[in-house]
Structure formats: C-alpha cells, structure tokens
Amino acid sequence: MNLPPDYRYLIDDKHFSEEEILSKFESLHEYFLEYLKTREDNKKKLCLHEGKLEDVVYNYFADLARLKAFHDIKLESPIKQASYIAFWILRCAPIQIIDNSKEPRYPNEVIAISIILAECKKALGNTLSKAQATTLHHLGKELDYYFKFRHYSQQSIEIMLQAFMSGLASKE
C-alpha cells in the first residue's frame, strides 16, 4: 500500500503516522477476508477490490484529519470512527460482486453494519443483557434498510448511533 500524492499531507502534516494508516488498512483487509471466508462456498461470486479498500482508508483518514483540524480535537470517539469507516465502506464498496445469481446483493452493507454493531457492543462493555442484545439486533435491521434505501452521510450515521447509545444507556 503506497499512499498516493493527494493523501501524502496526512503524514507530512503529522495528522497520522504511516503506521496508523497501514494498520487500519491491514485490520480492515483481514476483516474483509474473514467475511469472504464465511462465504467460501460462493468464493467465485465475491471478491475484495484492494484498490477500493485503500480508497476507504484514505478517505476515512482525510475525514478525520479535517475534523481534527476544524474542531481542534486530538482523539475521535469510537462511535465517530465507526460511523466514518462505515460510510466509506458503503461509498467505495470494496467487496465486488462478480456473479450475483446467489450471493446477497449488499455485502458492503453487511460489513459496515457488523463494524457498527461491534463498536456499540464494545461501548456497552461487551456483555449485553438480553434486552440490549435484542435492541442491538433491531438497530442492525434498521441500519440494513437505511443503508440500502435512504440517503446517509458520515454525520447522519454518527448522530443516529450517538442517539441510539444514549437511549440504550438510559435504559440500564
């Protein structure tokens, strides 16, 4: 993975280190490959487009750099990070459908939702009550519909998740 000249400022201006960017790419790459392994019987129907995954990572870090500069913040919240990475996964669609005769039509949405739900679960301490698990499952179903049929942005995903987490926390 070589950082294109257009994104070199992320490192040159010390927004992020090359290691941070590479680490995010590698962790997402592994996450996507694990997802594809679960679809092994249909391996030839889906593939990971690594160039598009690189675009996900570059745009994610560019967004975070703009946010850090505009709001003068040092660390981003995990919900913000999940929202922004989910947005770029949905926008860039690194999983490509080669033959959609049997495979679900929305593999990138599935991955974006799983990242969001994992972050929500982590924010709740990784141990969920039955009610919390049910509520989180309903969130996943709502996000599935929302990502397929509605307009969304990084900010709309973030505020939705912040509101969801606030509502869930108030029920404890």
Closest CA to 58 of 15, 117, 118: 15
Q: How confident is the model at residue 105 (pLDDT cuts 50, 70, 90)?
A: confident
What type of residue sits at position 70?
F
Q: What's the mean pLDDT in 133-153?
A: 91
**Nearest-angstrom CA–CA distance, 15 and 12:** 8
Q: Are 165 and 116 in contact (CB under 8 A)?
A: no
**Nearest-angstrom CA–CA distance, 60 and 159:** 17
Q: What is the pLDDT of residue 104?
A: 63
Give the model confidence (pLDDT) of 153-168 as tens digits. 999 999 999 898 887 7
C-alpha radius of gyration, the chain, whole number: 17
Q: Are 93 and 52 in contact (CB under 8 A)?
A: yes
Q: Are 113 and 143 in contact (CB under 8 A)?
A: yes
